[in-house]
């Protein structure tokens, strides 16, 4: 005779583990399909994976790459780590923010911080729609602006 109590406990343990194991891939899939993880999806995810809403929300809010609102059309990820900061990163970032301010207000562009892109020797750096831009200066800012406001 099977031990139903033990089997139920084993199934629960498995589902709990699988639920945590599939949460990140599921969140990535939703963001890939919809551009963000809508807060309305949190209870649906929680129920599907047998997790609490707080657990799901906690994972979404912990990882900065997950968005809860639709993204801007263009994303500029600007490096704020030490090596880029030491290469005039802060005033260059201010100039970039000023140049793209109108486009950011219109939701066309968003500037997001990143902390090292692995290009430390040629900073300050950014990723513009996923493509690296190094040695950012005034001319590079104009090229970036032309690209993301076209």
As beta bridge partners, residue 120 has: none
Q: Output 45 or 119, the one with its CB closest to ligand FES.
A: 119
Find the angle CA(82)-CA(104)-CA(80) to the nearest 5 degrees.
5
For tokens 């040629």, what's the residue?
122
Options 81, 95, 104, 145; binder of ligand FES; rule CB under 6 A:
81
Interface with ligand FES (CB under 6 A), residue total 12
As beta bridge partners, residue 29 has: none
Check residue 83 for interaction with ligand FES (CB under 6 A). Answer: yes
Find the angle CA(109)-CA(127)-CA(24) to the nearest 5 degrees.
90
CB contact at 8 A, 37 and 27: yes
Rounded Cα–Cα distance for residues 108 and 146 (Å): 12
Check residue 76 for interaction with ligand FES (CB under 6 A). Answer: no
Check residue 120 for interaction with ligand FES (CB under 6 A). Answer: yes
Check residue 123 for interaction with ligand FES (CB under 6 A). Answer: yes
Q: Output 19 or 89, the one with its CB closest to ligand FES.
A: 89
CB of 114 to ligand FES, least distance (A): 8
Check residue 116 for interaction with ligand FES (CB under 6 A). Answer: yes
Please state the φ and ψ torsions of residue 126, each to the nearest 5 degrees: -155, 165
CB contact at 8 A, 120 and 84: yes
Contact stretch for ligand FES (CB under 6 A) within 2-10, 12-20, 28-36, 111-119: 111-119
Options 49, 84, 92, 100; binder of ligand FES; rule CB under 6 A:
84
Binding-site ranges for ligand FES (CB under 6 A): 79, 81-84, 116-120, 123, 125
């Amino acid at each position: 005779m099977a031990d139903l109590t033990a089997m139920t406990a084993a199934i629960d343990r498995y589902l709990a583990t699988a639920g945590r194991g599939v949460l990140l891939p599921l969140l990535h899939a939703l963001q890939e399909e919809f551009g963000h993880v809508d807060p309305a999806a949190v209870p649906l995810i929680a129920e599907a994976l047998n997790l609490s809403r707080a657990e799901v929300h906690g994972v979404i809010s912990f990882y900065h790459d997950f968005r809860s609102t639709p993204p801007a059309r263009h994303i500029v990820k600007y490096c704020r780590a030490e090596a880029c900061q030491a290469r005039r990163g802060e005033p260059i970032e201010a100039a970039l923010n000023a140049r793209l301010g109108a486009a950011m207000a219109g939701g066309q562009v968003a500037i997001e911080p990143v902390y090292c892109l692995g290009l430390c020797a040629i900073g300050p750096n950014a990723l513009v729609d996923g493509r690296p831009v190094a040695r950012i200066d005034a001319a590079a800012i104009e090229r970036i602006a032309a690209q993301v406001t076209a």
